[in-house]
Amino acid sequence: MKKLLFVFTAAALVLTSCTKDKDQSKAGIFKGPETTMHEGKAWTWVQLDKDGNPVKVAITVNEEALNSMPADDGSGGGHDHSNNVVLSLPSQAANIAFKHAWVNWNPAGHPPANIYTKPHFDFHFYTVSSAERETFVDPAKLAASVPAEYLPANYIGIDPVPTMGKHYVDVTSPELNGQPFTETFILGSYDAKINFYEPMITLEFLKATTNYERTIPQPAKYQQSGYYPTKMRIQKAGQATNIILEGFVYRTAS
């Protein structure tokens, strides 16, 4: 009897251990492939909970990249697609909303003049693949506006950019109210559907910042159910800088 009891106890321990391992199998921090960015590297990474849901989604740029970005080319600014880097997410991120990242370097900034005409990065986190984003060229779909209830308060639509999307800015942002531009948070769409989140950050601010956190304005309604970030963080880690979306909350489409 004691022998049988020992066997059953041992089996129970094995099953408990296996169940525990299974529950934790999706948790962790996973890095995407490194991509060359001028003389340095950039990559993505995600932190997932035990169910595979996002805790953090990030783009990392190392110091060699930040210190080698080309200077103002004298073009006067504009959305220049010659300094873009597409970043894949790690395979473990298959179940999260974001499908790829697209980093755009603007050496002379872009309009409006005297506001965004500073050297800066556009860090796009897209909910569609890079191949689908490249099809964003139809003028009517680029111009189509997202219904107001799916945008945060005070966000208005501005320039539509082919293969990128229509942009929405917060009119209460400091740089649009007489303060210097350091960082801002933009949303984007195509065919009236939100499909990118974009921290836009100056090179100067990235280099000078050790740890910075801001909230991401939220809309009243969501077009698709899923996990959405509520905070953006800039954080130095060793010889690199992380641009992180975090504070994810599950939202139901309505």
Tens digits of residue pLDDT in 152-167? 999 999 989 999 999 9
Which tokens hold the place of 38? 């001028």
What's the structural domain count of the chain? Answer: 1
Q: Structural domain of residue 68, as residue ranges?
A: 26-251
Give residue 95's pLDDT.
86
- Does residue 122 lie within any of the structural domains? yes
CA 191 – CA 137 distance, rounded (Å)? 10
CA 213 – CA 16 distance, rounded (Å)? 40
Sign of the four-CA dihedral 235, 240, 245, 248: negative
Give residue 15's pLDDT.
39
Give residue 73's pLDDT.
54
CA 76 – CA 12 distance, rounded (Å)? 70
Whose CA is closest to 42, among 121, 117, 108?
121
- Does residue 39 lie within any of the structural domains? yes
Q: For 136-194, write each residue's pLDDT tens digit.
A: 999 999 999 999 999 999 999 998 999 999 999 999 999 999 999 999 999 999 999 99
Whose CA is closest to 126, among 89, 154, 95, 160?
89
Number of H helices, E strands in the chain: 5, 16
Give residue 22's pLDDT.
52
Give residue 16's pLDDT.
41
- Does residue 17 lie within any of the structural domains? no
- Does residue 230 lie within any of the structural domains? yes
Low-confidence ranges of the chain (pLDDT < 70): 1-24, 73-82
- Does residue 8 lie within any of the structural domains? no
- Does residue 7 lie within any of the structural domains? no
